[in-house]
Chain A
Amino acid sequence: MIKITGLHKTFNAGTANEVYSLRGVDLDIAEGEFVTVIGTNGSGKSTLLNAVAGTFLPDSGRVEIAGVDVTRQRDFQRAKLISRVFQNPFAGTAPDMTIAENLHLAYLRGKPKYPKTELKASRLDKYREEIGQLEMQLEDRLDNVIGTLSGGQRQALTLLMAVINPPQVLLLDEHTAALDPKSAAQVIRLTKKFIERGRLTSLMVTHSMSQALELGTRTIMMNKGRIIDDISKAEKQRLTTNDLLDKFAELRKTERLTDEMLEELRRDYI
């Protein structure tokens, strides 16, 4: 479903802020696979996701989705195939528009927007039904603007919006990182439910070792713009979080990470 070959990207080339983010990434994800991505800060996890989403054009390499070469397509062109949930709960919704309007636009993802009114009673009933799955008592608030919702509610809604019109590829970028533990657990539960139900090909960046191991069919580990480990489902079932940390410890030896950095990783992932 997703095929990435030899992807390179340098940001701010030629300036003092030059960052070499992707240094030759090759990745092949089959249809229906749910891949979790882990790695240290700045290892290129989010950049990889954005490369798939098309928010920038790569310096070299190729991105294929569902057999189509999308390397030169802009993000709004790829929206036909991809839906996304961002880390920031505010980024995924339009705050001054109502829940129904947001859901409707999500439903229209990748379709042309004509000047015609579709947001009618029958359509609203459908959305009411969909939003019921969130179990957040939002069914009667379809006419409320998003700005009145909590962060957790917004993120759950964004997730619903991402799957309301099932995409070929779902991209989740640390979408629970900014939530309180209770909301985060709820959103993770919903994520699992939606992905399994729709058998969606998904790519999820996470900072939680346990999430990485529990969720998905495959885990990749990134460091310094490269994929350094690819763990299959069978392997995942044997591993514990400590094993993962040991892998980071190995990294420490080869990459000469300082003890503080290791400590930071421990804090982040346990």
Chain B
Amino acid sequence: MELWIGALNLGFLYAFMTMGVFITFRIHDFPDITVDGSFVLGAAVTGVLLVQGVNPVTSLLVAFLAGAASGMITAVIHNRLNVNGLLAGIIVMTGLYSINLHIMGRSNIPLINQVTVMSYIDRVNPGLTPEVWMCLTLGGVIILFGLIMAWFFRTNLGLAMRMTGNNPIMAAATGVNVDRMKVLGVALANGLTGLSGGLVAQYQGFADIGMGIGTVVIGLAAVIIGESVLRMRSIYAKVFSAILGSLIFRLMIAVALAVGMDPTDLKLLTAAFVLLTLAASKTAAGKQAIKTALARFWPKLAWNWRKISAAVCLVLVLTVAGWGYKRYHGSPAAGPNKLYKIGVVQLVDNPLLNMTRDGLLGELKKMGYESGKNCIMLEENAHGDMTTVNNILDKFKQQQVDIIVPISTSCTQAAINKFKDRPVVFAGVASPFIIGAGQSDTDHLPNVTGVYGGAPAQKMMDIVHRFKPGKIQVGSIWDPSQANSVFNVDQLQEIVKNDKGVTFIGTTVTNSSEVSQAATSLVHKGLDAFTLVPDNIVYSAFESVLKAARSKNIPIFINDVERLADGAFCAIGYDYFSVGVQGAHLVDRIIKGEKPKDIPFELNKKLTFGFNLDTAKELGFTIPPDLLAQANRLVGQGAEAVKQASHPTASASTRTTTPPSGQAASALPSAPVTPAADKPAGKRLVVFIFSETPPIMDTRKGVLEELTSSGVLKKYNISVEHKSAQAEFYLAQSIATDIIRLNYDYIITLSTPALQIMAQANKRIPQIFGGVTDPYRMGIAKSADDHLPNITGVATMHPVSATIKAIREILPQAKTIGTVWNPAEATAEACTYAARDAVKQYGFQLIETNISHVNDIPDALNALVGKKIDALFTSGDNSINLAVDFVGKVMKQHKIPYFTTIPSDAGQGASLLSIGADYVEVGRETARQAILVITGRDPKNVPIKNYVPKKMVVNEALAKEYGIALPESILKAAAEVKK
């Protein structure tokens, strides 16, 4: 019964908002989205005023006025600027988000200890169950409200308002100022919505910035549902249909919960229901069906609905009152040996909250509690909808749950507001004090206890100082609408304030798509370290922060250890799992007879602390042994060794003068390879690569070897820096712009995209390219001598023809060769053209398949395998290069020999034979071109060099597996034979 009563109560409170939507949507004929904002505005205003000690009724009046003001703005924008009503609503709603945050000063105002309208109602309870009394009172208020609205719509003003929506031309002809009437109507609608928001905030015990999302949809659904139930044209019927719709909507949710439906599907159900209702009332057949159905089941209603509904109301009220009286005065059912019911509720499905829940349930099980045997466990998840949390709690009440365990702050807020008579054990709350659960660990609400703790900000800053000594800037990104995030950021700022060496800069975001921009902006402000507090949005877009941080080698310090594997440098935070475990022990103590009143709030006990060793290496950090010894989570290469030896063997070396070879390096430091700070005359050279594929890494290796061994770096005092676009075009663009901005003296670009993107931006700085197949195709040069004045380099065509020739030698019987390539890639196109010519020469047929993305490769390969190709050949395609191991594996499964033009492919075992350029040699040649420029030649006068140092690598092991005998000529010509 509590579930149903609770649903009715919410329905009553939301009915004011529904009436507002009814006025805009049905009277003024435009769906006004402003209500999404004015609902929260009402709640915010009420919340702030209540905290100030203002009378709750007065606060509701102000909420009404504030809502009305926002509606007025929408209507004026709509009228005066001739903006579409829907758009005007969206504009005002968006603006209200910031305004609401300003009004509240934070994202959430707890009202648990405030005197509210609900407490007034409670005070005059004649002895019924509180919810039932509430329901009866609210029901009475709503009936009164409905009568007032119906009366209003029949007054001269109300009639004029209705006419304005129904026929504006006519309204103007009878002397009604249509614009002004619209302002009045929309203001009234949003005023009611504000009132509704204020009431809901008082009822649920807090105002929250997120509580308005989807308000307009709920309102529209309620209006439409109500209309379909009461299909009469009388204005009384219309007004009450809106109220009824609001009740039915809430009851639908209650039904869904009662039958155990996942609340996730609720919105879909609503959409389907509303759509069906609309469709049925729009089509003639549908109308007829409804009429017949109504006539059959409710024959007299059409002409006597007032009496009937009055009778129904009376019966309902009497039943509810009678039941409520009996229950409240009857004996409680709790005996000493009964099964304890434990209800766990969480707001959203998120990995961290799930860990806490799992910790809790796991530990309870360990302690011998088993659902169905000696206790009953109920788990519910609101899937992010705050109102659903209330429904769930009502359901718990109905099921007579003995102990409520809310996980996360907002669930806890709702729970401590709803339950005064049974224990509430919270977990995963940053601070129970800001939500009014208590004043100190021991002085708290008598039925509430739990486990709390924010992020260990002081400890985090201590560690930051170990790696970044001196004056530094740290930065955070957070969502101001998450109470926990705001709390933790406040804590962090508090600590930083007392720390002279540190300045704090922060950026707020409202959704995950903004995180990337926020992170980049912080990086541009010269951040030294990211200090991220727990925040769902930032965590979900962690990759964006990582990318921004990597571009400038900024370490990320974070609270969530799970992010270490994603590339965070250091994590220090409370262990979410152990929070659950602690909570389980509190539950156990209560079941064993302790009173929550006597159990102090517990701080999270266990810290997790860890590093990512790979990231450390990239950043050039050496982790001090004492910290390594403290860490209980290490990620990356060497982590095992450290753990076993429990002393730092694998801590990363500091900056190196030669970069690691191809495969090992994932992201090189972009800091100077040779420190050049003391030599003012020094010049700067940047090596810009697009992606970290083996050929490019080899080329870079060659470049660096040659530059170093030739001695030019020393002689001309040149420092070398590295940039990599991580195979992302947008990143490449920004790097290119950055290179221009930083005004390097020389640029070496390796790979085709790096050349193209850099050339686009660079009109002046000498640029030398390498690892490029065909610079002539992309407008860099017309011929070796005729090229862009500041750009020269080395062109290395893939030895396609030589490879096809080798295929003929190895497979004399073969007829068809398959190939896969991406037509969007210039190099792949060039190579395929060459292959088409070569197959003719050597008597093959070439079967081509196109791809547009790495993800297309499996299908492309399957297609080729289906065509029974004798061999596979790929060349010059970046997508394939990234997936070459996968391609090799698939070919091995089908025993199809695979040939490429990258020697390392055969070395790795992906291909049977590969003839390609020796990219280390290409690199050396590129460096030689660069040296010409460095020693004073104008790039304009340095011709592009066509240079293909062929290198053949054969994998004999693979050949044996396939039963292919490699001809002597091949084995002789090969630079490398893998046995």
Contact = CB atoms under 8 A, between A and B. Distances in A.
A66 interface: no
A111 interface: yes
Contact of B175 (A55, A96, A110, A115): A110
Output the residue of A92, A97, A110, A113 with the most chain B CB within 10 A. A113
17 contacts: A75-B172, A75-B173, A79-B173, A79-B175, A92-B170, A96-B162, A97-B166, A101-B162, A105-B156, A105-B160, A108-B174, A109-B173, A109-B174, A115-B157, A116-B155, A117-B151, A145-B233
Contact of A105 (B151, B159, B178): B159
Contacts of A91: 167, 169-170
A94 B172 contact: no
A104 B159 CA distance: 9
A110 to B, nearest CB: 4
Given A97-B159, A117-B156, 16 more contacts: A83-B173, A84-B173, A92-B170, A92-B173, A93-B170, A94-B166, A96-B166, A101-B154, A105-B159, A105-B163, A106-B174, A108-B160, A113-B157, A114-B155, A115-B156, A116-B155
A61 interface: no
B29 to A, nearest CB: 10
Contacts of A79: 172-175
A261 interface: no
Contact of A115 (B155, B169, B176): B155
B233 A96 contact: yes
Interface in A115-149: 115-119, 145
List the 5 closest A-B pairs by CB distance, nearest first: A79-B175, A94-B166, A115-B157, A113-B160, A113-B156
B152 interface: yes
B181 to A, nearest CB: 9
A20 interface: no
Given A76-B178, A86-B169, A92-B170, A97 B163 contact: yes
A85 B171 CA distance: 13
A117 B151 CA distance: 8
B173 A115 contact: no
A105 B176 CA distance: 10
A151 interface: no
A116 B155 CA distance: 5
Interface string A70-97: 0000111101100110100001111111
A222 B173 CA distance: 25
A171 B162 CA distance: 24
A75 B173 CA distance: 7
A114 B172 contact: no
A92 B171 CA distance: 9
Interface string B139-172: 0000000000001101111111011001101111
Contacts of B760: none
Interface of B: 151-152, 154-160, 162-163, 166-167, 169-178, 233
Interface in A38-79: 53, 55, 74-77, 79
Query: Interface on chain A toward B: helix, strand, loop, or mixed SS?
Result: loop
Given A76-B172, A79-B174, A86-B169, A119 B154 contact: yes
A84 B175 CA distance: 11
A108 B169 contact: no
A205 B152 CA distance: 39
Contact of A108 (B156, B167, B172, B177): B156
Nearest to A171: B173
B166 A113 contact: no
A80 B175 contact: yes
Contacts of B173: 53, 75-76, 79, 83-84, 92, 109
Contacts of A86: 169
Nearest to B167: A94
State the majority secondary structure of interface residues on B. Answer: helix
Given A76-B177, A106-B174, A117-B151, A101 B159 contact: yes
B202 to A, nearest CB: 28
Contacts of A117: 151, 154-156
A113 B172 contact: no
A74 B173 CA distance: 10
A95 B178 CA distance: 17
Given A91-B167, A91-B169, A113 B176 contact: yes
B154 A97 contact: no
A122 to B, nearest CB: 16
Contacts of B175: 76-77, 79-80, 108-111
B239 to A, nearest CB: 14
A114 B156 contact: yes
A101 B234 CA distance: 12
A113 B172 CA distance: 13
Contacts of A80: 175
A62 B275 CA distance: 53
A141 to B, nearest CB: 13
A116 B152 CA distance: 8
Nearest to A106: B174
Contacts of A113: 156-157, 159-160, 176
Nearest to A119: B154
A75 B157 CA distance: 19
A110 B174 CA distance: 6
Kindly name the residue among B155, B158, B170, B176 whose own CB sees the greatest number of chain A CB atoms within 10 A. Answer: B170
B296 to A, nearest CB: 24
Most buried by B among A55, A79, A116: A79
Contact of A118 (B152, B156, B171): B156
A115 B158 contact: yes
A175 B811 CA distance: 93
Contacts of B160: 105, 108, 113
A77 B178 CA distance: 11
Nearest to A143: B234
A141 B224 CA distance: 28
Contacts of B158: 115
Contacts of B167: 91, 93-95
B166 A95 contact: yes
A79 B151 CA distance: 26
Nearest to A75: B172
Contacts of B176: 76, 113
A110 B167 CA distance: 17
B174 A105 contact: yes
